[in-house]
Amino acid sequence: MPNYLHRTTKQYQTSVSTITLPEPVGNYIQDPDLSAVAEEPIRYWTITGDVVSLKNQSEQDAVDAAILSAQRDDLANEIDSLETFMKGFAEVMLDQLNTLRDLHGLPAGSIAQLKTAVRNKLDN
């Protein structure tokens, strides 16, 4: 029986009958040649027609940058989560900063401003 690679998810299935595939056979590459991507992370694979190739270095860098940006967003968004240490710590620090800002006649900062400032620091 042939092996199949899903065109979108890149899930590889070995020795599978076409009738047991969960999606139409057109969504798969039958017996794909994976020699060009052997031992490379799936996130760097590109599928064009029935050819599986490796993204070039700038494309790999773009993939990595997108993943890093999403991870940074997740960290910054943790401030919005319920009952996390990060949220409690951020609110305590914001209260302290706002006390100091008030002593100097400055407007209070908000959680949204703090979240933006944290997210911007993660980019450096």
Q: What is the pLDDT of residues 20-70, one digit of tens each?
A: 999 999 999 999 999 999 999 999 999 999 999 999 999 999 999 999 988
Find the mean pLDDT for residues 59-82: 86
- pTM of the model as a whole: 0.64
Exposed / middle / buried, residue 4 (Cβ in 10 Å: 0-12, 13-18, 19+): buried
The more confident residue out of 29 and 78 is 29
Average pLDDT across the chain, whole number: 91
**Percent of residues, the chain, with pLDDT higher than 90:** 69
**Percent of residues, the chain, with pLDDT higher than 70:** 98
| Strand order across the beta sheet in which 28-30 lies | 12-13, 4-6, 28-30
Q: Which helix (H) or strand (E) holds 54?
A: strand 51-54
How confident is the model at residue 74, as a pLDDT? 83
How confident is the model at residue 89, as a pLDDT? 87
* CA–CA distance, 124 with 122 (Å, rounded to integer): 5
Question: Domain coordinates of the chain in residue numbers?
Answer: 4-55, 59-122
How confident is the model at residue 83, as a pLDDT? 76
